[in-house]
Amino acid sequence: MKIGVPKEIKNQEYRVGMTPNAVREAIAHGHEVIVEAGAGHGSGFEDGDYTEAGAQMLGSAEEVFGDAEMIVKVKEPQPAERKRLREGQLLFTYLHLAPDGPQTEDLLASGATCVAYETITDARGGLPLLAPMSEVAGRLAPQMGAWTLQKANGGRGVLLAGVPGVSPADVVVIGGGVVGTNAARIAAGMGANVTVLDLSLPRLRYLDDTFGHLFCNRYASQGATAELIAQADIVIGAVLVPGAAAPKVIRREHLSTMKPGAVIVDVAIDQGGCAETSKATTHDDPIYEVDGVMHYCVANMPGAVARTSTIALGNATLPHLLALADKGWKQACADDPHLAEGLNVHAGKLTNRAVADAQERDFIEPAALF
């Protein structure tokens, strides 16, 4: 199979779909790899690294999309990229379709087969291709929250760790999954007072058993959530419903109870955000204010640490990439029901129930296709 890797064009997105090592693996499996010139520069990979690994470098995205049977990316295809997709082509990337009707419409119209990293599962019910970027975003969230909390950035002017004689910041993490756990660990390690909210008692027991008194946890009742949001200097939204739009657990009325200059870091923004007042921002212009509360809602947070993120993501995606290339999407999905969960669009049909429910569209079960 001919695998194409275009340069990412989303605002300040520096990651790349395949590392040179991934290229070597694909070529060892008998595939061709074509890479757009400069695609790896933002992650610290030069064109020569790819040619040394056996890839052919092409001068434009049009050439890559035009020649490749399979496109491997990081972020969802932007409008210009969606126009280049064609019937029968395989797209393997993050999609986050649930809150994105225009992208869904374009992918359906393209006739392409689209497999989304974020809905592939594993035998334990986890999301193995989302996990590495959730780890990165979770670990970045306290850093970004601490930066936004600085007075010059519109925040309260509170130091996360405090100093002797002055209390540290109060950080509330809503959601105790991969993002939330990593955010809580880093925020606590930076010296903040941290509380994690979750609806799963087994998950809360796990956090308590694993981390002890490093941070506190509470059951995420509406009352407890409202109480802690009102006390917080930083609220980190780490809520995830796989494949679906994020539930709005931070409501507009909560903002009026928050401290002036408090911060919301909405890591769920890729799935529409878990705050009613959240809207996607970019690394160029990451924060905005609503009712005196600062919002940090960058939709590609891991792109800020592109080299770490690219290598971590590549470690997770490579086995699935090779399965799709070695067998073709139909046989690969038939052989692996967890990979089949990643199938979101095929030949003008929606194949993911959560996306269909979020957009009130019809869909077909992936198993009906093979």
CA distance 113 to 40: 25
96, 254, 295, 346: which one is catalytic?
96
170, 233, 270, 336: which one is catalytic?
270
CB atoms within 10 A of CB 124: 6
CA distance 338 to 15: 25
Backbone angles phi, psi at 3, to 5 degrees: -105, 130
* 198 counts as catalytic: no
DSSP 8-state class, residue 319: H
DSSP 8-state class, residue 180: H
* 100 counts as catalytic: no
CA distance 332 to 322: 9
CB atoms within 10 A of CB 220: 20
Helix or strand (DSSP H, E) at 183:
helix 178-189
Which of 259, 252, 96, 242 minimizes the C-alpha distance to 172? Answer: 259
The residues facing 234 across adjacent strands are 171, 263
- Cα–chain center distance at 146: 21
Region of 248 please: left (phi>0), alpha (psi -120 to 50) or beta: beta
DSSP 8-state class, residue 26: H
DSSP 8-state class, residue 151: G
Backbone angles phi, psi at 353, to 5 degrees: -65, -40
> Which residues are designated catalytic?
96, 270
